[in-house]
Structure 1
Amino acid sequence: MRLDKFIADSKGLTRSQAKIPIKDGLVSVNQKIVKQTKHQVDLNFDVVQLNGITVIYQEYRYYMMNKPKNVVSATSDVLEKTVIDLIAKVNQKGLFPVGRLDKDTTGLLFLTNDGMLGHKLLAPRKHVTKVYRALIAGEVTEEIVQTFASGITLKNGETTKPALLKILAINRQKNETKIEISIVEGKYHQIKRMFGAVSMRVQELKRVQMGGLKLDEGLKLGEYRELTPDELSCLIRNIN
């Protein structure tokens, strides 16, 4: 790999930006200053340092975020704060959210610069399961559970695939129900539209799982962290 690409990818720089410290003599390979931007780096054996600090090359980066409300799942937006805006302390180059959570939906969001993995997770033929917990206005009945299990016809005529709906708790005093729902699709506002089709309203919605990746409940809203090797392996294993 070219030295300027190594520095650019590792530090979230453009190739032009990466060439500056190399030409200024701030980059060494195996403790020897190298000013040639085309110098080939062996990722398995060479030690690259920038200003005396070893640079660890990582081609792909994987993060989970506990998305808060009032943030959009996009890489950029002229009007709204995005999930990328919340990732201030990491190399943001190429990062994108895999799938979208509505602005007022919270919970698990997976971000990466690995386009192939992102594509597989979103591919309809992979049927990657997404699990949500929600607070529903009204009392969800076993009849509704069975209706969801058979697939629902939305108000615009679309039909959803069967969904696994579980009743977690019913508060008759407040007339609301806590539920968990698992779906394998990603239609626009799907869960809200599914409940709308049975004349019910979603008050709160939180994603807790995507494929083999579960939300770290220790993450506060707006916080994020890198996936562990086990989490990444589990995520990949569930879609291959």
Structure 2
Amino acid sequence: MRLDKLLAHCGVGSRKEMKQLIRKGHIQVNGEIIKKDDYQVDEIKDIILLDNEEIQYRRFVYLMLNKPQGYISATMDQVHPTVIDLIEGYEHYELFPVGRLDIDTVGLLLLTNDGQLAHHILSPKKHISKIYYAKIDARVDETDIAVFKQGINLGDFTALPANLKIVSANDEESEVEIEIFEGKFHQVKRMFEAVGKTVTYLKRIKMKQLILDPQLEEGQYRELTNDELENLMKIDVK
């Protein structure tokens, strides 16, 4: 990789600013001052110093975001704010959301620049588990559990069998957890509509083995831990 590109990718500054630093002799590679901005470096093996401070190169970044309502799961939009607008200090990594949550759905959303991992997670063939907490405007009962377990025909597709757990229920409102293995548009809401009920609140709390950090307030984010990332990398077929 070109030296100026690597430094810019690390967030040290813009490509133009890096060219100037290099030409002024501020950069060392393996103990040698380099003044050519197109100098080729090995981002893994080479030791790169900026004014005697080592630059740590990271190709990929993985963030856990507790998505709030009112933000869409996209990198840009002409009408609504996006989840990327919530992130500061990672602009040079060109992050994107892995999958989507509806504008009024909150909770766990993974942001990364690792296209290969995103592809594996989103692949329909993988049937990655996603668990949501939801509030429903009616009583959810054992009949609903059985219907969800069979899979529901939604017209344009038949949802795979889903696991529905009742947290609490009365005639006015129920709280449930639902595990699905797809990520179709408005899927959870449409599944409850199919049994005559309406979702009034929806929050994703888990995706595969990745659990939403309870310490994260809505709108907050953090990098994944090594253990979280290792578990996420183990993409298995259901």
Range class of TM-score, shorter chain: over 0.9
Q: Evaluate the alpha carbon distance shift between residue 94 and residue 223 of structure 1 in structure 2; reply closer, same or farther with a 3 A threshold.
A: same
Letter in 2 for 1:124: P
Distance in 2, matches of 1:234 and 1:191, equals 25
Which residue number corresponds to residue 235 of structure 2? 238
Q: Evaluate the alpha carbon distance shift between residue 16 and residue 239 of structure 1 in structure 2; reply closer, same or farther with a 3 A threshold.
A: farther
The aligned runs of 1:95-110 (5 Å cut-off) are 95-110=95-110
Letter in 1 for 2:148: F
Which residue number corresponds to residue 2 of structure 1? 2
The yes-or-no answer on 1:223 pairing with 2:220 is yes
User: Following superposition, which runs of at least 4 residues in structure 1 exceed 6 angstroms of deviation?
Assistant: none
> What TM-score, normalized to structure 1?
0.91
Conserved 8 A contact 1:12-1:93: no
Secondary structure at the aligned position of 1:188 is classed as: coil
Distance in 1, matches of 2:71 and 2:53, equals 35
Distance in 1, matches of 2:79 and 2:9, equals 29
**Aligned residues: percent identity?**
46
> What TM-score, normalized to structure 2?
0.92
Paired residues in the alignment total 237
Secondary structure at the aligned position of 1:73 is classed as: coil
Which residue number corresponds to residue 145 of structure 2? 145
Which residue number corresponds to residue 169 of structure 2? 170
Q: Evaluate the alpha carbon distance shift between residue 120 and residue 14 of structure 1 in structure 2; reply closer, same or farther with a 3 A threshold.
A: farther
Cα deviation for residue 76 of structure 1 reads 0.9
Runs (5+) with no aligned partner, structure 2: none
Letter in 1 for 2:157: E
Letter in 2 for 1:133: Y
Which residue number corresponds to residue 82 of structure 2? 82
Mean Cα displacement is larger for which, 53-62 or 223-232?
53-62
Letter in 1 for 2:90: V
Letter in 1 for 2:168: A
Cα deviation for residue 74 of structure 1 reads 0.6
Letter in 1 for 2:68: P
Cα deviation for residue 79 of structure 1 reads 1.8
Distance in 2, matches of 1:157 and 1:143, equals 23
